[in-house]
Amino acid sequence: MPEPFDITVGAEAANTRLDVFLASVLPGVSRARIQKAITAGHVRVNGSEVPPRTLLHPADHILGDIAAESTWSVEAEHIPFTVLHHDACLAVINKPRGLAVHPGAGRRSGTLVNALAARFGTLPGGSSPERPGIVHRLDKDTSGLMIVALDAATMTTLGRMIASREVERRYMALVWGNPAFNEAVVDAHIGRDPRHPERMAVLPEASAHTRREAVTELTVRERFAEAALIEAKLKTGRTHQIRVHCAYAGHPVMGDTVYGERALVRKGFPREGRAELAALLERLQGQALHAWSLKFRHPGTGEPMSFECEPPPEMQDVVDFLRQWTRDRHA
């Protein structure tokens, strides 16, 4: 059933946008759902249809309804994953490498949301019913920590927290080359690659294509022969952001054949170690990227939450090989 409302605007809400005001007075309803209702003509101000950006005045009368939150019907599948924390509001999980987060074109099963359905039952769909409980994503071949919302109010709050950068996310990445920096900030807008729409790219300011702010902090944690282990801290959360920014900085993520090297092993890597490294990267079956740290305040209690998890064995094997290889070369 739709969620009806009849509201008279008070003086304190003067000059507030309609969609922003409704989001503040309708708990558990996302602004995306509110904007859809306004655009569809289900919300009227003083009897008239108006756009979401309309500024309100004292005594304005708002009448309307919000379509009930869509339910999701993803089939439950028992796919293994690790739960690091679970309470009534949320769960923190370790997503396995190779597992897509949600269904997409031509893929209706075998995803994390199918696994979540089996583990937690029905989850809130928000404005995207096919992504129940999902407030941020990891690429299919990126492993590591994710927060999952278990109710609608938490999903809305976590979405706001991530948008306002209140959730700290850190990643480990193995990259090619020897970075000239110990610490660096990559501040480069990202958008769809005009030549390859299935990919993302850093776009110049003068680009005619849509581009969004993207900022990544990079810190070198360990240096190897022709490679490095870096920590990447997200300040924004764009699609493929770390992979695109590392490649843009001249140090693509190892195993990333989309934004990095087409061959498994970079040509500059010493010939005598290529075969063994190639075999390890073949086992990795994707980019050497792992979400290892999450910090945030619990949206219900305000309690500080902090989680860490080690990279999967296939990625650790590459680290161990590079570490030993580098020691042997300098022995």
Active site residues: 139
Backbone angles phi, psi at 43, to 5 degrees: -125, 135
- Cα 275 to Cα 87, 152, 184, 218, 225, distances in angstroms: 46, 50, 32, 29, 15
User: Which tokens go with 23?
Assistant: 């989001």
User: Which residues, in sequence order, are CB contacts of 70 under 8 Å at separation 6+?
Assistant: 125, 129
- Cα-based angle 83, 84, 90 (whole degrees, multiple of 5): 75
Q: Taking the CA atoms of the chain, what radius of gyration do you get in angstroms? A: 23
SS3 18: helix
User: Which tokens go with 245?
Assistant: 């920014």
What are the residue ranges of helices labelled H in 18-151? Answer: 18-25, 31-39, 112-120
Across the strands, what pairs with 1? none
User: Which residues, in sequence order, are CB contacts of 147 under 8 Å at separation 6+?
Assistant: 90, 91, 92, 135, 136, 158, 167, 294, 296
Q: Is residue 273 within a helix (H) or strand (E), and if so which, with residue range? A: helix 271-284
The neighbour count for residue 33, using CB atoms within 10 Å, is 23
Antiparallel, parallel or unpaired: β 304-308 and 190-192:
unpaired
What are the residue ranges of helices labelled H in the chain? Answer: 18-25, 31-39, 112-120, 152-163, 241-248, 271-284, 313-329
Q: How far out from the chain centre does Cα 55 lie?
A: 32
Contact 245, 171 (CB under 8 A): no
